Every structure is written in C-alpha cells, then in structure tokens.
Amino acid sequence: MTPRPATFGDFRCAHCGGLVSSAHFVSGVHNRNHCPYCLWSRHLDLYSAGDRLSACKAPMQPVALTLKRRRDKYGLGRGELMLVHQCGGCGSLSINRIAADDDARTLLGIFSASAALPARTRDLVQAGGIELLGPGDLPLVQLRLFGQGAQVPIAQPA
C-alpha cells in the first residue's frame, strides 16, 4: 500500500481558467480545492476534505462566509473565517478553509453578495447548521481579511 498523495497537483480553474497551484507553501493549506482568484471550487470530495471520492465534479460557487465552530469550553464559537460553497450540480454545500493567497477583495465581494442569497439557499445553509455572516459582521470580516486598522470601501448595491 502506498500512502495517498497529499495533493493532486496543480490544476486549471474550471470557472475562470486561472492556473491554481496546490503547493502548500503557496496556499498555506492542505487539500486546496478552490481557485484563489475567483474562489470557485469543484465538487470533488465526498466524505471528508481531500478524499476526492465524489462522482459529481460539478463547479461549486462561493456563496457566503461563515465562522468555524469552535468547541471550546468557553463556547465562544467565533473561530476562523471559512468559505461556503454550493454545488451547481447537486446543490450540496461545503465549508472550506480560506487559503493564504485567496483574493481578499473577492472574499469581501462574496460576503456582500451573500446578503442577497435566495431564500432557498439561505434555508439550506441554515438547515446545514451553518451560521451565515450578516451585515453586522462586516467589521469582523474586514479584520480577518485585511488586518487591524484596514479601511476598505465596500461597494453598495445600486
């Protein structure tokens, strides 16, 4: 038995066509599964991150941001910022770690757009126990994406 490789090599993004490096030193994460430019992913994993067992393989759209649930004794529950993807093929949701080289402005754009998520998607997200971040979480999101003291203008919907 040979151990399963940690990554499946570099790949070309199915959405924007950008070349994505899966090298750990670039992304800071293992099992990179989304594009750092447009943040789209593909439905490759079935049971756990990186297993690549899904037969679906459809593109997954980044739809929202959430916070990783922390199970600590203080019950704070406000952990790492995470990206929520929805599969364009089967509709299933997944939560993914944000990589070091993910485009912060694109992430912020997803956060802004998630305020207008269709009710059906919103219900699905909530049914999955995922806490959607709302407009009130903007300072937190900016802090996590851009660091302390950053002032980033956010595009207001017309």
Binding site residues, Zn ion, CB under 5 A? 13, 15-16, 18, 35, 37-38, 43, 56, 58, 87, 89-90
Amino acid making up residue 133: L
Other CB atoms within a 10 A radius of the CB of residue 56 amount to: 17
8 within 8 A of 24, measured Cβ to Cβ: no
d(Cα 49, Cα 126) in Å, to the nearest integer?
A: 21
CB of 105 to Zn ion, least distance (A): 14
Are 94 and 60 contacting, i.e. CB atoms less than 8 angstroms apart? yes
* Least Cβ distance, residue 137 to Zn ion (angstroms): 25
Q: Provide the token pair at 40.
A: 């789209």
Query: Is the CB of 58 or the CB of 104 nearer to Zn ion?
Result: 58
Closest to Zn ion by CB, 69 vs 89, is 89
Shortest approach of Zn ion to residue 87 CB, angstroms? Answer: 3
Instruction: Point out which residues pair with 20 in neighbouring strands.
Output: 11
What is the closest distance, in whole angstroms, from the C-beta atom of residue 121 to Zn ion in the complex? 14
The least distance separating Zn ion from the CB of residue 43, rounded to whole angstroms, comes to 3
- Cβ–Cβ under 8 Å, residues 66 and 2: no
Distance in angstroms (rounded) separating the CA atoms of residues 30 and 28: 7
Which is nearer to Zn ion, 33 or 142 (by Cβ)?
33
Nearer residue to Zn ion within complex by CB, 49 or 138:
49
Nearer to Zn ion, 18 or 128 (CB): 18
